[in-house]
Amino acid sequence: MADSENLITVKDLTKTYRTGDIEVRALSAVSLTINKGEFVAIMGASGSGKSTFMNILGCLDSPTSGEYLMEGVDILGRNKNELAELRNNKLGFIFQSFNILPRTSAQENVELPLLYNNKVAAKERKEKAFNALKSVGLADRINSMPNQLSGGQQQRVAIARALVNDPIIIMADEPTGNLDSRTSYEIMEIFQKLNDKGITIVMVTHEPDIAQFAKSNIVFKDGKIIANNPVKDRINATEELKKIKTLAEEKAST
């Protein structure tokens, strides 16, 4: 990509956990560059360090040592409040277990990041939240409570919440881990559309077919990156969903 620029640069990122006397090295000297507009899928077996890496990229966790630059600015020297602002303004998070607030309507869940953002006026809040929900196809469910929504819909609320502050990067930790394959494809469709709009996406997954929707795949093993390849036969989620639909229709007609 010719017009690409470095969005994220990490150098020699190391994270060690200490449990009693045993020292576990979750990440050992990981270096990586992610460009603007990328769609990266991070793969690896459980315990390979992919989630730890992701959490550090998302400023949710801090590394034991190493260097982390976002848009050329050092991240690790910043204090907690600055990191919180960064998460609020520039990052959007999506979790495997959705992590939306229970007994809270879709609308209010999506408004939540805006309430922590001083720059958004009260009037804008409703509109922004509605637009975010609309962009994930939930315009008609804004007043639904999480327990009235399916897993896929809950995850779409979480995506809307991640989008509402116009982030530059979306971090997704196993976003399809709790969903069936058709719903997973729907989520991937949203991701691909967001990526086409220029939002960088970093996604952790252990499902190879989900990783095929990304532009490049990174593979972790024992806290190290062992492969970093562009995806050859990238799947287009919209087309894939059409195929599934026609297959289902054919089955129904026969």
Pick from 16, 96, 117, 216 the residue near other proteins by CB under 8 A: 117
Pick from 33, 71, 78, 85 the residue near other proteins by CB under 8 A: 85
Segment (H or E) for 8? strand 6-19
What's the first-to-final CA gap in the chain, in angstroms? 47
Amino acid identity, residue 221? K
Pick from 67, 71, 108, 207 the residue near other proteins by CB under 8 A: 108
Amino acid identity, residue 243? K
Pick from 17, 116, 196, 227 the residue near other proteins by CB under 8 A: 116
Question: Segment near other proteins (CB under 8 A), from 35-43, 60-68, 214-222, 225-233?
Answer: 60-68
Per CB under 8 A, 93 contacts other proteins: yes
Per CB under 8 A, 46 contacts other proteins: no
What is the b/e burial string over 14-39, where b = at least 16 CB atoms within 10 angstroms of the residue's CB? ebeeeeeeeeeebbeebebebbbbbb
Question: Segment near other proteins (CB under 8 A), from 13-21, 87-95, 130-138, 196-204?
Answer: 87-95
DSSP codes, 197-238: TT-EEEEE-S-HHHHTTSSEEEEEETTEEEEEEE-SSPPPHH
Q: Interface with other proteins by CB under 8 A: which residues?
A: 55, 58, 60-62, 80-81, 84-85, 87-89, 93, 95, 99-101, 103-104, 108, 112-113, 115-118, 122, 161-162, 165
